Amino acid sequence: MKLIFERGAEGRGCSILPPCDVPEVEFSRKRETKLCLPSLSETEINRHYSELEKQVYGVNSGFYPLGSCTMKYNPKVNEAAAALPGFSGLHPLQPEHTVQGALELLNRSEKALCEITGMDRMTFQPAAGAHGEFTGLLLIKAYHQKRGEGEKRTKILVPDSAHGTNPASAAMAGFKVVNIPSGPDGCVDLEKLQEAAGEDTAGLMLTNPNTVGLFDKNILEITGIVHGAGGLCYYDGANLNAVMGIVRPGDMGFDVIHLNLHKTFSTPHGGGGPGSGPVGCKEFLAAFLPGKAAERREDGTYEFETPAESIGAVRSFWGNFLVVAKAYAYILSLGAEGIPEAAESAVLNANYLKKKLEDIYPMAYPGTCMHEFVMDLSKIKEKTGVTALDIAKGLLDGGIHPPTMYFPLIVHEALMFEPTETESRETLDEAAELLRKLYRTACENPKELHEAPIHTPVRRLDEVQAARKPVLRYSYDL
């Protein structure tokens, strides 16, 4: 708020309000100085916010290859669909007969997403992926409890390439986490999994393709081992955009899944939400689902029903309904042909960029990747002193948003690129060119990269200070 504050301080266009008239006894934190509220014209305010907008980099500004987070194109028309007053003007406590259209949309979205994932039923209550994980684990717990094995089955197996939310959700749901190492090929080590699976196994959490961008070729063996031990298989669907319309988690042997509608199905994210992490399951778990599902009656009308042995609500009302509306618009506009095509393009784009870089940037895993790939810059760091962070900052100077850094944890000096399906060949060529240039700079003039970025609104931030002493609220001295 620099502009507004400076003008206020000069006194220009500043309206001074008298101190508020609240009795001392009732409000001890009464303001002692006069409040100086800026009074600016509409044009000045417009310019101020446009200026702020220009300083922020988003998918509308350019290439944004943030791996594992899928900052992809979110068609504006879906926003318009979700903003229709018949959707956006609803109140969650409205009587059922006044929200039939919304119920039909929930019912149809559930059917479409179950078809895409190979599940039988789905809840839209969870508000994000991690929230879906927690919900899915509660379903697994309810299943074992009902079979009288709740006490015994206390462990959740999680591969070491997993997203951090997986072990966190398992711990939150009251399970012990058992870490399963990956082999040198980036896939789950089958022997280690076999050793870990047993009578105390409640289930496995896995994302496929995994967070190093590889489709685990042994997926049927993996889910077979866990089922053989009496556990259930949970699919973290955050990477579904690599395989949607091509293979289904239900056919890979998974019993419970979550989707991140805000990653795969066209809701922008990165600003903190709202998101949606629907949880799907096979029929034998459907009775435990939380909240209420939109059911179709015989006469074609819809009603909300709570499953018979529901674990209870995990969120108020029906979840983030408008995110579901956007997902449904996306599914309808892409259709049965467009959905696999989006996945194929995402995989093609990632492989194209990977190929253009692999002669100079060492890749964490060789061969074909899925929708994302991970570079391992540890050798470059050894040779030149330039780190993954320095390259990321150099990308900022070149006008590109950096990829995900230092994740997954099993790769050192990791840079993880996910170009997404919507980038053109020209954009990928430009990105490759810039990365090759940064490599030359790393070899010839590493200092330049240690100092990057120099062309951004703020230079390199002190991330240690920011983590240790976060300023959690906006403040300034008068």
Ligand X SMILES: *Cc1c(COP(=O)(O)O)cnc(C)c1O
Residues in touch with ligand X (CB under 6 A): 68, 128-130, 163, 165, 207, 211, 236, 238-239, 260, 275, 277
Residue among 238 and 281 whose Cβ is closer to ligand X: 238
Residue among 117 and 207 whose Cβ is closer to ligand X: 207
Residue among 129 and 319 whose Cβ is closer to ligand X: 129
Residue among 376 and 418 whose Cβ is closer to ligand X: 418
Q: How far apart are CA 99 and CA 18, in angstroms?
A: 48
Give backbone dihedrals phi and psi of 236, rounded to 5 degrees, phi first: -80, 110
Q: How far apart are CA 195 and CA 193, in angstroms?
A: 5
Task: Output the six-digit token pair for 333.
Answer: 């506009």
Sequence-ordered alpha helix ranges (H) in 83-208: 85-88, 100-117, 129-146, 165-172, 190-196
Report in angstroms how near the CB of residue 276 gets to ligand X at its nearest.
Answer: 9
Among 77, 71, 76, 49, which residue's Cα sits nearest to residue 58? 71
Residue among 277 and 290 whose Cβ is closer to ligand X: 277
Give backbone dihedrals phi and psi of 244, rounded to 5 degrees, phi first: -60, 135
The greatest distance separating any two alpha carbons of the chain, rounded to the nearest whole angstrom, comes to: 75
Which residues 6+ apart lie within 8 Å of 37 measured at CB? Answer: 8, 14, 15, 16, 17
Report in angstroms how near the CB of residue 356 gets to ligand X at its nearest.
Answer: 24
Among 460, 434, 380, 447, which residue's Cα sits nearest to residue 412? 380
Place of tokens 């039939």: 100
Task: Judge if the upstream peptide bond of residue 209 is cis by omega within 30 degrees of 0.
Answer: yes
Residue among 207 and 351 whose Cβ is closer to ligand X: 207
Query: Which H or E run contains 117?
Result: helix 100-117
Report in angstroms how near the CB of residue 230 gets to ligand X at its nearest.
Answer: 25
Report in angstroms how near the CB of residue 257 gets to ligand X at its nearest.
Answer: 12
Report in angstroms how near the CB of residue 101 gets to ligand X at its nearest.
Answer: 27
Residue among 69 and 103 whose Cβ is closer to ligand X: 69
Residue among 267 and 384 whose Cβ is closer to ligand X: 267
Beta partners for residue 14, in sequence order: 38
Report in angstroms how near the CB of residue 408 gets to ligand X at its nearest.
Answer: 9
Among 106, 122, 311, 350, which residue's Cα sits nearest to residue 215? 350
Report in angstroms how near the CB of residue 431 gets to ligand X at its nearest.
Answer: 21
Residue facing ligand X at closest CB distance: 129
Q: How far apart are CA 336 and CA 294, in angstroms?
A: 23
Sequence-ordered alpha helix ranges (H) in 209-320: 219-228, 249-252, 261-264
Report in angstroms how near the CB of residue 64 gets to ligand X at its nearest.
Answer: 15
